[in-house]
Structure 1
Amino acid sequence: MAEGGSLCRRRWKRHIVRQLQQRDRAQKALFLDLVQAYNKLLEKSSLLDSFTEKLQAETLDDWRRLPLRPTQEAADPVMGAVLDSATPLVSLKRSHEGHMVQLQTINGELAYRMIEQSALLKAREATLEEQRGRLASLRGDLSVAKAEWGQLKKQAEELSHKNATLKEAYETLGKQHLQKEGEFRQAEEKNRLLVTRLVRRKAEAAEDRNRKNDRINKDKLLTTLELATKRMIEVEPEPEEAKVDVKEMPSRDVPELENGARLCKRPFRSASATSMSLTRYMDVFKGFFDFRMKRGNSFSTASEHQYCYIPTCVAACLPSTVSDEQEAHLSEVNAIKFSPNSGMLATGGTDRLIRLWNVVGGRLENMQTLEGANGGITSIEFDPSGCHVLAATYNNAAQLWKIGDCKSKEILTGHTDKVTAAKFRSTRHQAVTGSRDRTIKEWDLGKGACSRTINVLSYCNDVVCCDTIIVSGHHDKTIRFWDSRGPHCTQVIPVEGTVTSLNISPDQMHLLSCSRDNALKVIDLRMHNIRQVFRADGFLCGSDWTKAVFSPDKSYALAGSADGTLYLWNMETGKLETSLPGVHRSSVNAVDWGPSGMYIGSVDRCRKVVLWR
């Protein structure tokens, strides 16, 4: 390092010497001609001075030797010639004096130039000294930079060595990764084959078990029928007064119980026998011959009566007129739902209230208000018995009420964003909720705890349940299917818009979805494909929570538009059957079709609930 510094200093010294030599040469070349001319002039001046002195001395000597009178000078021709010869000397002296003056002037100018050049030389010497100081500082900086460069070079060498080591390790890991990936693919293929075999074997076992159960049930049914035909059932005749009362009841309203509870109205519709399966026949005969529910001398509770009077819809009535309309809430109404027996209607809005309405003779009678919700209501659902109400709220929770109790019975917390849907499973002891926090949760209502959480990639706007399958509609324009017995999504069906609602048909064979592309889609749950798409001129999906439903007999699809009009499509023809305008003055948020098929309910943003018939 020291040798390099000394070599550099020697180079800089030689460079400075060369620069000074070049400057001396350039300045010397400028004044060399001038100095030579000045020297020549000085030599000529000195020669002329000496020549003039000699001439003057000789002239004076001659003049002294030959003193003459003026008359003699004029008379003597020789003296006249001498005087004539002295005349050029005078002129020569004058010219010499003129040359001397010129030379003195030039000498003064040259002296002035010499002074200027000496001042310039001093300034240049000062600049040179400054440059030398700067050069010395730059040499110091250069030595520091060289030292840093040496350190950085060493660090770069160390890093390159480490990089080479890491590269070798990365290549080794890459080879191991490829090997492990191949092994993983082989294991995944084996796993897939094993799962396929397991599913096939389970399906075969399930079919075998179903066949055995069918045989056992048939045998039991035949045995029960034989015993029933042999058993005598005593039925006490009803008094004449009771018969008269029954005849005078055109609407078939059930009388009130002792505790004041009103039983639900039972509009009767005959069911087609050809549409009933063997399992349905078995359930009906079991109900007839279940001795716990004999029609003889027995008593039952209100809930048992509600189970007994659940209506069966064979053909839904196509609505055409408004049966009743009420201002239901203090602000926007988001949800509406009929009870399983169609005798009760529930509405929920952003005022944090759930209102229960009795549907009596086509009129809405305010029955009860359920309070205690911690946020606006987004979804309402009745349990299969019609005794409990489950609601989703803006306050990141779902709440459960029992009909007759004003306060909430259970609060299901655990979501981190507003809950958009809350639905019961096959019983009132299980429920499913969907939220904007990208999760779906399954709940054990007996324990009031979450039994499973499903993480999704998008907001969940609605959920429905059928047997062991959970179906969810999402903001990313997809419908996902989840098996409650497995951790992963089993099927994804893309649609062309954000899914706002889902509704499953009573036979659980078709799914109706409403989306923001202003279309309703019917999905075949057996083939998992879109079977029909319903559109209409003027139909606009008003929000991300707009609801659409099937009719109870699955003959029609119903949805409300942003302009307040209700649209009904025919499932068989796929065309618009009718529209119901002019009642709602704002966007229809939700609709529902009563299980009896007689009534339709709709709610809008202007706090109105309308009952159609």
Structure 2
Amino acid sequence: MAESSGGLWRWRGGWKRHIVRQLKQRDRAQKARFLALVQAYNKLLEKSTLENFTAKIHVKSLDNQMGFPPRGTQESTDCALGSVLGYPRMLESLKRSHEGHLVELESINGELAYKIYEMNLLLKAHDATLEEQRGRLACLSVQVSDLEAKHCLLLERVDELSHRNAAMRDGYGALHECYWNQEVELRRAAERGLELLRCLMQTKVEAAEHWNKAIERAKQDRLSKELKKATKAMVSIKVEPEELKADEQKVPHRDAQENGEKLWKRPFRSASAASMTLTRYVDVFKGLFDFRLKRGNSVSSLSEDRYCCIPSCVTACLPSRVSDEQEAHISEINAIKFSPNSCLLATGGTDRLIRLWNVAGGRLENMQTLGGANGSITSVEFDPSGCYLLAATYNNAAQLWKIGDGQFKEILTGHTDKVTAARYRSTRYQAVTGSRDRTVKEWDLSKGACYRTINVFSYCNDIVCCDTFIVSGHHDKTIRFWDSREPRCIQVIPVEGKVTSLSISPDQMHLLSCSRDNALKVIDLRMNNIRQVFRAEGFKCGSDGTKAVFSPDKSYALVGSADGTLYLWNMETGKLETSLPGVHCSSVNAVAWSPSGAYIGSVDCCRKVVLWR
């Protein structure tokens, strides 16, 4: 029975509790809080023996359990003890229950001691965490102090910058006021300059008239003197036999002389001879006077040379085959243009070079390379005489070359963004440029100076010039017309896409526009409305710089597509006349039609130039 109870105790884990209880008792004995209890216990042992103390404890517990009143004297205690001893079994049971209760209290005490030990461990851990937190708090306090010092420094700097900003604002206000004053003075000076220029031109005109009259009077006086001298002198003319036969039909009266020679006697010189002499002298003096006027380089001079566009093409030929193709540049080609006599072809690209090709017998012969450009070439244009070439570049400028020299003559600077188009006006001394800085500038090429700037409200992709107005195509899907006499917009025509190019007909009656909505539009300049719209299946505008042109006789419209195909529309029928696929393998950037109508040129993104015939 004892072995079974011991096994049950071991099975229930009593030995573990016993070990834990022993450890708790040892820990409890080491704690300071139990010192007072141990001392009190020792004092109690000194006063009485362990048996009396135990008997008293048993009697008190028995009295409490049996409900006896407390005993005040020794006699009452003895009586109660005698009565209790009469019940030995009950006393034994009470003793056992009390011992069980003590054992239970001891186990509870051990558990409480273990909990106290755990709480002490937690307390130590919390103390360590607290110390760590205090260290971090000290570090953070130091950082806060540093940040507060920096904050004070920054506040002082902000105050200093505020004072400096206020001073700069005051200075800016003074400079702004000075700028407006200077601008007013500049405007007045410009007005005075224009007035002086008008006075100078009027003076030149009056001086020219005076010199013409003086020269005419001198000529008349000289002519009258020559005529008077001629009337007094006899002129003899020897006539050869062949000339005599021709003169017999013209001169009926002749005098015969000896030796077979015939002389015609005139009392004065021929009027036709005098007229030719007078005309020659007048032309010489007029040429000299015109040269002096040209050296003045005035924009508004009435003596400027004007080149009339004499049409050299009666009927343009539709291209049917490739005449020649070349790899013209080392990178993408953006521009192509024929010279006025159709003998030269100019191409320009992103390699900052312009190549001149001689179009001889349907072949492209590289004649010259024009260098010196500081940016990619966006457009090229020959002057009306074909001696100069004007190009727009991506370095915010336009440059002027003379054909044959190979070096540029002038750089037109003033734009603040890419120059997308450069065109001549009616003379080679005037040009117009358009840029992405939302301005169009008019230039006096003899001075290399801009004399007018027009704000056009949007990116300008292309421009064309007429006699009395300038037309600009824009990124905001509009075409604007500008009066060339004063910078104001006289007409706005909206289109459905970004305008990529403009082309004006030779008679200046129609305008061709290409836009990113994959359509070409023909605008009647007399009515200022869209007359025709050309679309075709497969045609797609490849870039913001795709160029479309009229044929020289204004019978066809030509453009290149993003897939490398050329499309031609008939102006009369409004239908697609033909398409030329299979030669270009990339997007066609620009096309050109020779003024003679015999050739077509096209360039693409893959460095290829193609001549069609």
| TM-score category, normalised to shorter length | 0.5 to 0.7
CA contact (8 A) 1:464 1:471 kept: yes
CA contact (8 A) 1:334 1:379 kept: yes
CA contact (8 A) 1:333 1:607 kept: yes
Tell me what 1:543 maps to: 543
TM-score computed with the length of structure 2 as normaliser: 0.52
Alignment partner of 1:595: what SS? coil
- Cα shift at 1:510: 1.8
Tell me what 2:441 maps to: 441
- Pick from 44, 61, 64 the counterpart of residue 68 of structure 2: 44
Report the AA paired with residue 551 of structure 1. Answer: S
The 1:111–1:365 alpha-carbon spacing in structure 2 relative to 1, beyond 3 Å, is: closer
Alignment partner of 2:408: what SS? coil
Report the AA paired with residue 414 of structure 1. Answer: G
The 1:310–1:397 alpha-carbon spacing in structure 2 relative to 1, beyond 3 Å, is: same
* CA distances 1:326-353 after superposition (whole Å, capped 9, x unpaired): 4433443321112223333222233333
Report the AA paired with residue 86 of structure 2. Answer: S
- Cα shift at 1:95: 4.0
Give yes or no for the alignment of 1:527 onto 2:527.
yes
Residues in 1 aligned to 2:280 and 2:343: alpha-carbon distance in whole angstroms: 26
- Cα shift at 1:364: 4.1
The 1:367–1:486 alpha-carbon spacing in structure 2 relative to 1, beyond 3 Å, is: same
The 1:339–1:310 alpha-carbon spacing in structure 2 relative to 1, beyond 3 Å, is: farther
Residues in 2 aligned to 1:358 and 1:292: alpha-carbon distance in whole angstroms: 38
CA contact (8 A) 1:41 1:103 kept: no
Report the AA paired with residue 549 of structure 2. Answer: V
* CA distances 1:241-260 after superposition (whole Å, capped 9, x unpaired): xxxxxxxxxxxxxxxxxxxx
- Aligned ranges 1:405-554 → 2 under 5 Å: 405-554=405-554
Tell me what 1:581 maps to: 581
CA contact (8 A) 2:63 2:70 kept: no
Residues in 2 aligned to 1:93 and 1:349: alpha-carbon distance in whole angstroms: 130
Residues in 2 aligned to 1:292 and 1:524: alpha-carbon distance in whole angstroms: 46
- Cα shift at 1:570: 0.6
Residues in 2 aligned to 1:324 and 1:115: alpha-carbon distance in whole angstroms: 112
Residues in 2 aligned to 1:358 and 1:89: alpha-carbon distance in whole angstroms: 148
- Cα shift at 1:550: 0.7
Tell me what 1:91 maps to: 86
Residues in 1 aligned to 2:491 and 2:308: alpha-carbon distance in whole angstroms: 37
Residues in 2 aligned to 1:428 and 1:305: alpha-carbon distance in whole angstroms: 8
- Cα shift at 1:112: 11
The 1:536–1:341 alpha-carbon spacing in structure 2 relative to 1, beyond 3 Å, is: same
The 1:50–1:438 alpha-carbon spacing in structure 2 relative to 1, beyond 3 Å, is: farther
Residues in 2 aligned to 1:582 and 1:56: alpha-carbon distance in whole angstroms: 135
The 1:38–1:370 alpha-carbon spacing in structure 2 relative to 1, beyond 3 Å, is: farther
Tell me what 2:185 maps to: none
Tell me what 2:78 maps to: 53
Alignment partner of 1:44: what SS? coil
Tell me what 1:590 maps to: 590
Residues in 2 aligned to 1:99 and 1:331: alpha-carbon distance in whole angstroms: 117
Tell me what 1:608 maps to: 608
Residues in 2 aligned to 1:324 and 1:89: alpha-carbon distance in whole angstroms: 143
CA contact (8 A) 1:52 1:93 kept: no
- Cα shift at 1:571: 0.8
Residues in 1 aligned to 2:396 and 2:526: alpha-carbon distance in whole angstroms: 34
Tell me what 2:352 maps to: 352
Deviates more, 1:509-518 or 1:450-459: 450-459
TM-score computed with the length of structure 1 as normaliser: 0.52
The 1:489–1:91 alpha-carbon spacing in structure 2 relative to 1, beyond 3 Å, is: farther
Report the AA paired with residue 70 of structure 2. Answer: S
Residues in 2 aligned to 1:511 and 1:481: alpha-carbon distance in whole angstroms: 11
Alignment partner of 1:533: what SS? strand
The 1:578–1:39 alpha-carbon spacing in structure 2 relative to 1, beyond 3 Å, is: farther
The 1:292–1:379 alpha-carbon spacing in structure 2 relative to 1, beyond 3 Å, is: farther
Please, which runs of 5 or more residues in structure 2 have no aligned partner? 1-60, 124-277, 289-303
The 1:94–1:400 alpha-carbon spacing in structure 2 relative to 1, beyond 3 Å, is: same
Residues in 2 aligned to 1:518 and 1:598: alpha-carbon distance in whole angstroms: 27
Alignment partner of 1:53: what SS? helix
Tell me what 2:401 maps to: 401
* CA distances 1:369-389 after superposition (whole Å, capped 9, x unpaired): 323222332211112222211
Report the AA paired with residue 53 of structure 1. Answer: D
* CA distances 1:458-483 after superposition (whole Å, capped 9, x unpaired): 43221112234222223333323333
The 1:42–1:533 alpha-carbon spacing in structure 2 relative to 1, beyond 3 Å, is: same
The 1:321–1:108 alpha-carbon spacing in structure 2 relative to 1, beyond 3 Å, is: closer
Report the AA paired with residue 406 of structure 1. Answer: G
Alignment partner of 2:70: what SS? helix
The 1:413–1:103 alpha-carbon spacing in structure 2 relative to 1, beyond 3 Å, is: same
Residues in 1 aligned to 2:566 and 2:340: alpha-carbon distance in whole angstroms: 23
Tell me what 1:138 maps to: none
The 1:416–1:38 alpha-carbon spacing in structure 2 relative to 1, beyond 3 Å, is: farther
Deviates more, 1:377-386 or 1:363-372: 363-372
Tell me what 1:599 maps to: 599
Residues in 2 aligned to 1:39 and 1:543: alpha-carbon distance in whole angstroms: 116
Report the AA paired with residue 504 of structure 1. Answer: I
- Cα shift at 1:104: 8.9
CA contact (8 A) 1:396 1:414 kept: yes
- Cα shift at 1:599: 2.7
Residues in 1 aligned to 2:62 and 2:495: alpha-carbon distance in whole angstroms: 108
- Cα shift at 1:39: 10
- Aligned ranges 1:292-303 → 2 under 5 Å: none
Residues in 2 aligned to 1:318 and 1:376: alpha-carbon distance in whole angstroms: 32
Alignment partner of 1:521: what SS? strand
The 1:509–1:374 alpha-carbon spacing in structure 2 relative to 1, beyond 3 Å, is: same
Coordinate RMSD, CA, aligned:
4.7
The 1:471–1:52 alpha-carbon spacing in structure 2 relative to 1, beyond 3 Å, is: same
Tell me what 2:333 maps to: 333
Residues in 2 aligned to 1:50 and 1:113: alpha-carbon distance in whole angstroms: 38
Please, which runs of 5 or more residues in structure 1 have no aligned partner? 1-36, 58-87, 128-289
Deviates more, 1:381-390 or 1:434-443: 434-443
CA contact (8 A) 1:513 1:522 kept: yes
Alignment partner of 1:480: what SS? strand
- Cα shift at 1:514: 1.4
CA contact (8 A) 1:436 1:459 kept: yes
Deviates more, 1:595-604 or 1:421-430: 595-604
The 1:305–1:487 alpha-carbon spacing in structure 2 relative to 1, beyond 3 Å, is: closer
CA contact (8 A) 2:309 2:506 kept: no
CA contact (8 A) 2:548 2:590 kept: yes
CA contact (8 A) 1:372 1:408 kept: yes
Report the AA paired with residue 478 of structure 2. Answer: T
Report the AA paired with residue 336 of structure 1. Answer: I
Report the AA paired with residue 502 of structure 2. Answer: L
Residues in 2 aligned to 1:483 and 1:299: alpha-carbon distance in whole angstroms: 33
CA contact (8 A) 2:331 2:605 kept: yes
The 1:292–1:383 alpha-carbon spacing in structure 2 relative to 1, beyond 3 Å, is: farther
Tell me what 1:240 maps to: none
Tell me what 1:376 maps to: 376
- Aligned ranges 1:179-258 → 2 under 5 Å: none
Tell me what 1:562 maps to: 562
- Cα shift at 1:590: 1.5
The 1:96–1:590 alpha-carbon spacing in structure 2 relative to 1, beyond 3 Å, is: closer
CA contact (8 A) 1:306 1:385 kept: no
The 1:552–1:114 alpha-carbon spacing in structure 2 relative to 1, beyond 3 Å, is: closer
Aligned length in residues: 384
CA contact (8 A) 1:374 1:393 kept: yes
- Cα shift at 1:553: 2.0
CA contact (8 A) 2:379 2:392 kept: yes
Residues in 1 aligned to 2:94 and 2:477: alpha-carbon distance in whole angstroms: 114
CA contact (8 A) 1:550 1:557 kept: yes
CA contact (8 A) 2:63 2:69 kept: no
